[in-house]
Structure formats: C-alpha cells, structure tokens
C-alpha cells in the first residue's frame, strides 16, 4: 500500500468508528443487566432478611419464656420447703421471718408468671406474623426465577451481539495498514468519542465545524494519509460513512437503558455513541 490513504482504507476507519460506538453501547447494556438482576432479587432478599430477623427474635422470646418458667418452678420448690419449715418453727419471731420470706417468693413467682405469659402472648402474635412474611417471601422468591431467566436470556443475546461486533472489528482491522491502525487505535484509546469526521463541501470540519484551510482541504480530497483537523484533531475524510451489516444493528430484546428511565453513561466514562459528527450530519 502506498503512502496515500485510499477511500477503502478511510472507509474501513469509518466503519471501525461505527463498530466501536456500537460496542460501547452493547457493553453499557450488559453492565445494566447486572444491576437489574440485583434489583429483581432485592424485594425477595429484603423479605428473607426480615423473616430471618423475626425468627431470631422469636427464638429468643421462647428461650426467655422457658427461663422464666424454670425460675418459677424453682421458686415453687422453695415455697414447698418454706411451708414445710413453717411447721417446725419454735417461736413467733422465726415464724414471722419465714412468712416474710415466703411472701416475697410468692410475689416473685407471680411476677415471673406474668412476664412469661406476656412473652408467650408475644410469641403467638409473632408466629402469626412469621407465617404471613414466610408466605410473602415464598411468593417473591417464586417470582424472581422467571424474571431472572428472562434477563439472563436477553443478556446472552447482547453478549452474542458483542462477540459478533468484535469479530467484525478484527476483520476490518486486518484490511487497514499497520501505521493507520496504530494511529486510529491511539486516538480511540485516548478517549476520543469521534476519531474520523467528514470534511463538508463548504470546507468545515464535521466534528468541530471549524473551517479547514484550503491546502488541507485539497489534501483530504486527494486522499492524503491521515489528514487531521488543526482545531479538534480528528481525521478528516470525504469518504461516505458506511452502513454496518444489518445483522449487527438490528434491535435486541430487553434493552434496559430506556426501561430504567435513566440517562446512562458509558462504562468507559464516555457519552453516548455518535459524537458531534452525527449531530452535524
């Protein structure tokens, strides 16, 4: 290949740019699927967490109720001993002391029984709530599967399209000379959203709209190698922008950017595809 850029080579660079823009869009969509998968499962996870916490509290209340019941049983045993001791007292002073202690134990038993009954009432009400939350949790979890399945199926379609785009990109690169390839890749990887732009008939740059000097316009129209706009640095060409293979551009099911209702930034930290040149044209 000679030093001059042929229309075919410039066309290849323009196709590379379109492919790269589409690859960005698809990669962005794939990243959204991970977020949506988490969103789909979030209600079920919240219910499962709530159910787990309720069951822990319920288990602790049952433990506390059993502890109070055992404490009351121990105190009843002490009451039996105190009553037996009361029959053996030898004077009024000892009798009064035993009766006082016995009265305190009886009051403590009543307090334990009251607290245990309160806990058991809470346990019953909590068990009803547990059943309701468990039912809602099962319904939520049953609904997650089909939604996740549909999302994963759509995600696979996007990944498949991404692989096709990358394969086509490699094919196009093979038809570009090593020097031009390195220049394009360097520009693109530097973060440019537009690498190749049209030189309009009036001599304006299709990206920044600045007027190109006549000498440079002539070089572009003659197909000189990698002639760049002095203002914005894009590669200028008069080569028509090629159309991608329809199989690479047809809509895919399950696009999430519109579904989420958000203006989504590219995973590479760049804006939407097309850049300023598309707006100009």
What pLDDT sits at residue 130?
Answer: 92
The mean predicted confidence, pLDDT, of the chain is 81
Cβ burial 193-227 (10 Å sphere, 16+ → b, else e): bbbbbbbbeeebbbbbbeebeeebbebbeebebbb
CATH label of the domain that carries residue 161: 1.10.287.1490
H-run or E-run covering 160: helix 92-174
Domain membership of residue 36 (yes or no) is yes
H or E element in which residue 196 lies:
strand 196-198
Give the model confidence (pLDDT) of 44-74 as tens digits. Answer: 889 999 999 999 999 999 999 888 889 888 9
**Domain that includes residue 249, residue range:** 7-280
pLDDT on residue 272: 37
Residue 261 clears pLDDT 70, i.e. is over it:
no
Closest CA to 210 of 184, 187, 228: 228
Q: Can you give the pLDDT at residue 254?
A: 60
For residue 1, being part of any structural domain is answered with: no
Helix and strand numbers (H, E) in the chain are 7, 2
**pTM of the entire predicted model:** 0.55
What is the rounded CA–CA span in Å between residue 191 and residue 170?
Answer: 20
Q: Which two tokens stand for residue 164?
A: 């096709």
Residues contacting 253, CB < 8 A, separation 6+: 154, 157
CA 93, 96, 98: angle at the middle one, nearest 5? 110
pLDDT one-digit tens code per residue, 230-250: 888 888 988 887 888 877 877
The rounded percent of the chain whose pLDDT value lies above 90 is: 24
Q: Kindly tell me if the per-residue pLDDT of 75 is higher than 60.
A: yes
User: Has residue 2 been placed in a domain?
Assistant: no
Q: How far apart are CA 241 and CA 33, in angstroms?
A: 31
Instruction: Please determine, for residue 166, whether its predicted confidence score (pLDDT) is greater than 90.
Output: yes
**Residue 170: pLDDT above 50?**
yes
Asked whether residue 259 carries a pLDDT value surpassing 70, the answer given is: no
Residue 271 pLDDT grade (very low, low, confident, very high; cuts 50, 70, 90): very low
User: Looking at the 3D structure of the chain, how many domains does it have?
Assistant: 1
Answer yes or no: is pLDDT of 135 > 90: yes
Q: Is the pLDDT of residue 279 over 60?
A: no
CB contact at 8 A, 17 and 169: no
Question: Does residue 270 sit within a domain?
Answer: yes
- pLDDT tens column, 78-126: 888 888 888 888 888 888 888 898 899 899 989 988 998 998 999 999 9
Choice between 98 and 267, residue whose per-residue pLDDT is larger = 98
Q: Contact 268/41 with Cβ under 8 angstroms?
A: no
pLDDT for res 121: 92
Q: What span, in angstroms and rounded, lies between the C-alpha atoms of 188 and 118?
A: 71
Confidence tier at 224 by pLDDT (50, 70, 90): low
């Amino acid at each position: 290949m000679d030093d001059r850029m042929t229309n075919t080579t410039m066309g290849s660079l323009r196709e590379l740019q379109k492919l790269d823009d589409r690859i960005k869009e698809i990669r962005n969509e794939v990243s959204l699927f991970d977020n949506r998968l988490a969103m789909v499962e979030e209600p079920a996870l919240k219910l499962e967490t709530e159910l787990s916490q309720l069951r822990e509290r319920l288990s602790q209340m049952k433990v506390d109720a059993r502890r109070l019941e055992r404490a009351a049983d121990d105190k009843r045993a002490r009451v039996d001993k105190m009553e037996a001791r009361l029959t053996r007292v030898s004077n009024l002073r000892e009798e009064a002391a035993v009766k006082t202690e016995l009265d305190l134990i009886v009051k403590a038993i009543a307090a334990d029984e009251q607290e245990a009954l309160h806990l058991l009432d809470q346990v019953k009400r909590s068990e009803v709530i547990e059943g309701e939350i468990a039912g809602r949790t099962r319904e939520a979890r049953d609904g997650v599967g089909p939604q996740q399945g549909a999302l994963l199926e759509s995600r696979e379609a996007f990944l498949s399209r991404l692989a096709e785009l990358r394969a086509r990109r490699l094919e196009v690169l093979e038809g570009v000379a090593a020097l031009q390839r390195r220049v394009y890749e360097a520009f693109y990887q530097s973060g440019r959203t537009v690498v190749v732009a049209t030189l309009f008939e009036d001599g304006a740059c299709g990206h920044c709209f600045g007027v190109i000097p006549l000498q440079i316009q002539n070089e572009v129209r003659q197909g000189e190698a990698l002639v760049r706009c002095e203002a914005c640095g894009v590669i200028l060409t008069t080569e028509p922008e090629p159309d991608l293979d329809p199989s690479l551009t047809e809509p895919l099911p399950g696009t999430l950017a519109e579904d989420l209702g958000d203006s989504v930034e590219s995973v590479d930290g760049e804006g939407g595809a097309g850049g300023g040149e598309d707006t100009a044209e």
